[in-house]
Amino acid sequence: MQGFILTAAYEDRAQGHLLKYFGISDQGPFCVIIDQNSPVFFIEREAKFSRLSVSYERKSVGLKSFRGQAVDALYFKTQRDLFTARDELQRLGVRSYEADVRAEERYLMERFVNGSVQIDGPSKVEEGMITFLNPKLSKTEYRPRFHICSLDIETSFGNDLYSIGVHYKGPKGEYKHVHMVGEDFEKRDENLTIYPGEAEVLKAFYDEFIAIDPDIIIGWHIIGFDFKFLERKFSQYGLRFNIGRKKSKCQITEKKGAGWFCNMDGRVVVDGPPALRAAFYQFENFKLETVAKELLGVGKDISSAGSDKVEEIERRFHEDKAGLAKYNLLDCTLVHDIYEKTGLLNLIVTRTLLSGLLMDRIGVSTAAFDYFMLPKIHRKGFVANNVIDIQREGHAAGGHVLEPKEGLHENIIVFDFKSLYPSIIRTFKIDPYSRIMAQVNTIETPTGHQFSKTEHILPHFISILFNKRAEAKMIGDQYLSQAIKILMNSFYGVMGSGGSRFYHADLPTAITGTGQWILKKAIVYLEDRGYEVVYGDTDSVFVKIVMSDTSKMEEKSSVIAKGLNEYFQDLLLKEYGVHSELEIEYEKHYRKLYLPPARSGEGGAKKRYAGLIINKNGEREIKFAGMEFVRSDWTKLAKRFQYGLYQTLFGGEEVKDYIQDFIKVVKDKVELNELIYTKRLTKDASEYIKSVPPHVKAAKILLEKDPGRSIRRISYVITRRGPMPVELGPTDIDFQHYIDKQLRPIAEDVLRLKDINFDDLVMGDQLTLF
């Protein structure tokens, strides 16, 4: 049978260790049990010790450490025994290798199973699930069709459950329903059933959920809010929140700085905001209302926020239950529509098929690198280190950034090195295996680091990915193209991360150092041919082209790019004996580009600029990099001001007039939503003691009103009393704060080069605000 693995876990039982894999197939959900697998790690063959408190089997294997020492494998009855032995050996001074590799992932990676799996062996049906015991697992190509359930709950401001909305889509068709608490519990219509109490709602929802039997559960902040609330409610009524397959337990955990996670057998929870962030979507904020309006053009049935929203939900619960059900279901439907519009699940599945990591682990780049590299390293005769044993030797230098030539420029062409770091890896054969085999057919990077021209793993794989991505673009498979880009770009980061078992300082240093060398050579090449380079950053160069006929700018740029590519082909072959995999391409044409001065007052600002382009529709459009307009921690007021300021500048109009006119109307014509700051709390508000920034002060004020509330993101404005949460509807806005902290720095980026003082320009206007 062919299938797709959704979840993987291990269990230690009295009779030993077993692995559990749950997934879906065309024949239905399946479970694979492996109880003939022994957890393993490695120690050096010369290691001697008297005994351990757990039983084990020591075997000689044809493998060695990266330092060249032969190793033996130690096999254990349970994972618990493995951890015990690892810790005891550490206390004895005996080093272990790969003792931190997840057993359930090791089993799959060694068989090169990447999500889709061929299962060969006898099976039986138990509780509606196809179950295999110790079958043969092998790689195959299979893409699943999911049963998807969107879930949303409505509650009071306190601890009251009002309703649970469910929207199913999948091979069975489509189904929508709301379970709601209410007095008219005899009443029922097509999409709404009313029950006398919360316990009855929970039981009805649970029965319905088990009957729907979804593979994927989606929602908006579904783990940290909906699931946490439901878990608490189920416990309150003595019910089990066992919503996994085979009615297994749902485990909810929070990792500081990483968010909420939910694990259960056979089902995957995909939460909207973190999934969109992982796919590099950017929005003003990640509220459902904001994202739905931007992606779908429609918003929620209740668009107000904070206390107004809660009041309307409570009013509908008491006076208009059909209206509340409509709101509840619309939220479920919006989530479904956002996932379909963005192809989020398609992207996540494609990344699993590409990297091997299952859907609930897909964002862990170090684990993805392990999954790819470990089985290949083993087949080359080596074992890897434990992560904790890696010696971290500082940070590698970043990309080269040329000092910007501050000011306003016209006709700037941006040339971009396509996937620079992966291209450097391919060109100089950089990877962990190539480093330790550097004595075989040695090649040297411009930084002086040595690698093997013939003994390598990663460069060949990247070449395959480059070709796959080109094919994906050709056939319009945007999910495969994006998945490949994400995976390729993660390789450098992993090799440069002290959290990777494959880290070595030579790897990131060789890559970034070579990148700097390449960018500097490109700049010299261009300047030697009479071109002015106004800026350069890591993998891009900004070149001023003097041409009267701008319609031929792209043609001219292609000629320059071709010359650069030929230059590097010749240079790298001549000086380093390698074939250049570098590809520089024309990226964009700025009709006008502004490089602001550094706010420190020294030179130009790096990684900050604004430029005017003509988009595909022939319209003028301003692009920002590193500026407030593209940052989520600045207000709408600042962004509107900045966009208008650069429209004025690029239009050749007087910026002094624009700034003065804008500030004159700040008090009278600015809506509250333009003044809102939204920031995330990285820990509980009570944990901020020594330093209490404004957003935490606002959160603490809100918690005084509702002590049981969990706050991870706070929206607030600055008033004459200080920061105040938006939910409390403050009106005493401190407009001077917004002028000084939001408008002033943006204006001074332009005014400083014109030798105009901001205070002199606006002082008279500011006095009228009071």
Burial of 572 (0-12, 13-18, 19+ CB in 10 A): buried
What are the tokens at 474? 């050709």
CB 336 within 8 Å of CB 374: no
Residue listed under structure tokens 């020294």:
602
Q: Compute the distance between CA of residue 212 and CA of residue 172 in angstroms, rounded to an integer.
A: 9
Nearest residue to 233 (alpha-carbon basis) of 156, 307, 332:
156
Q: Are 748 and 762 in contact (CB under 8 A)?
A: no
Distance CA 555, CA 741 (A): 44
Three-class HEC string of 63-76: EECCCCCEEEEEEE
Of the listed ranges 70-84, 102-116, 157-171, 204-218, the least confidently predicted one is 157-171
Reported residue count of the chain is: 770
pLDDT digits over 642-675, tens only?
999 999 999 999 999 999 999 988 877 788 889 9
The pLDDT assigned to 394 comes to 60
The per-residue pLDDT for 330 is: 92
The Cα–Cα gap between 711 and 684 comes to: 8
Which pLDDT does position 157 carry in this prediction? 76
Q: By the 8 A CB rule, do 188 and 175 touch? A: no
pLDDT at residue 770, rounded to an integer: 42
Phi, psi of 348 (to 5 degrees): -65, -45
Check pLDDT > 50 for residue 575.
Answer: yes
Quote the pLDDT of residue 666.
85
Per DSSP, the residues of 104-150 read: HHHHHHTTT-BSEEEEES-EEEETTEEEEES-EEEE--------EEE
Higher pLDDT, 567 or 764: 567
Residue 265 contacts by C-beta under 8 Å, 6 or more apart in sequence?
Answer: 7, 9, 20, 22, 31, 244, 245, 246, 248
The 3-state DSSP class for residue 586 equals strand
User: Cα(466)–Cα(423) distance, rounded to whole angstroms?
Assistant: 9
Q: What is the three-class DSSP state of 261?
A: strand
Q: How far is C-alpha 288 from the geometric centre of its chain's CA atoms?
A: 18
- The residue type at 554: E
pLDDT in tens, 392-414: 766 666 677 788 899 999 999 99
How many Å apart are CA 33 and CA 30, to the nearest integer?
10
Q: Which of 74-88, 96-110, 460-474 has the lowest mean pLDDT?
A: 460-474
Q: Would you state the pLDDT for residue 185? A: 60
**What per-residue confidence (pLDDT) applies to 397?**
66
Q: pLDDT (tens digit, 9 = 90+) per residue, 452-466?
A: 999 999 999 999 999
Assess contact for 718 and 617: CB atoms under 8 A: no
- Please, what is the angle between helix 636-650 and helix 744-751, to 10°? 20
Q: 538-553 in b/e burial notation, b at 16+ Cβ within 10 A?
A: bbbbbbbbeeeeeeeb
Of all residues in the chain, the percent with pLDDT exceeding 70 is 96
* Cβ atoms of residues 469 and 480 within 8 Å: yes
* SS3 label, residue 384: coil
- Give the pLDDT band of residue 708 (cuts 50, 70, 90): low
Mean pLDDT, residues 63-71 taken together: 94
Please give the full DSSP string across 484-543, using - where no structure is assigned: HHHHHHHHHHHHT-TTSTT--THHHHHHHHHHHHHHHHHHHHHHHTTPEEEEEETTEEEE
Q: Which amino acid is at 283?
A: F
pLDDT over 50 at 611, yes or no: yes
**Is residue 724 predicted with pLDDT exceeding 70?**
yes
Q: What pLDDT sits at residue 690?
A: 81
Task: Give the DSSP per-residue string, 682-718.
Answer: SS-GGG--S---HHHHHHHHHHHH-TT---SEEEEEE
Render pLDDT for 349-360 as a digit per residue (tens, 0 to 9).
999 999 999 998
The pLDDT of residue 768 is 47
The residue type found at 204 is: A
7, 267 contact by CB (below 8 A):
yes
Buried b (16+ CB within 10 A) or exposed e, 36-46: ebbbbbbbbbe
Q: What residues pair up with 70 in beta bridges, in sequence order?
A: 64
Dist CA 371 CA 279 (whole Å): 21
CA 620/CA 616 separation, integer angstroms:
10
d(CA 678, CA 472): 38
Residue 658: its pLDDT value, please?
93
Q: Letter for the amino acid at 279? A: A
Contact 164, 179 (CB under 8 A): yes
CA 267 to chain centre: 21
* Mean pLDDT for all residues in the chain: 90
Distances (CA, A) of 655 to 33, 44, 183, 465, 500: 70, 71, 63, 48, 50
> What pLDDT, in 10s, does the model give residues 743-755?
999 999 999 888 8
- Burial label for 638, CB within 10 Å (0-12, 13-18, 19+), is buried
Type and span of the H or E element at 195:
strand 192-195
Nearest to 575 by CA among 449, 445, 759: 445
What the block records as the tokens of 689 is: 């003691």
The H-or-E segment that residue 452 falls in is strand 450-452
DSSP code, position 397: P
Q: Which of 307, 111, 209 is closest to 706 using CA atoms? A: 307
**What is the predicted pLDDT for the residue at 541?**
95
| Token digits of residue 753 | 């080069």
In angstroms, the CA 47 to CA 53 distance is 17
Q: Which residues are bridge partners to 164 per DSSP? A: 153, 179
- Domains, the chain: 2-139 (3.30.342.10), 148-355 (3.30.420.10), 390-457+487-595 (3.90.1600.10), 654-767 (1.10.132.60)
Q: How far is residue 743 from each of residues 458, 573, 645, 676, measured CA to CA in Å?
A: 48, 52, 10, 14
Contact 578, 514 (CB under 8 A): no
Residue 313 predicted with pLDDT over 80: yes
Most confident segment among 140-154, 490-504, 611-625, 721-735: 140-154
Contact 117, 140 (CB under 8 A): yes
pLDDT score recorded for residue 202: 96
Per-residue b or e along 487-512, where b marks 16 or more CB atoms closer than 10 Å to that residue's CB: bbebbbebbbbeebbbbbbbbbbbbb
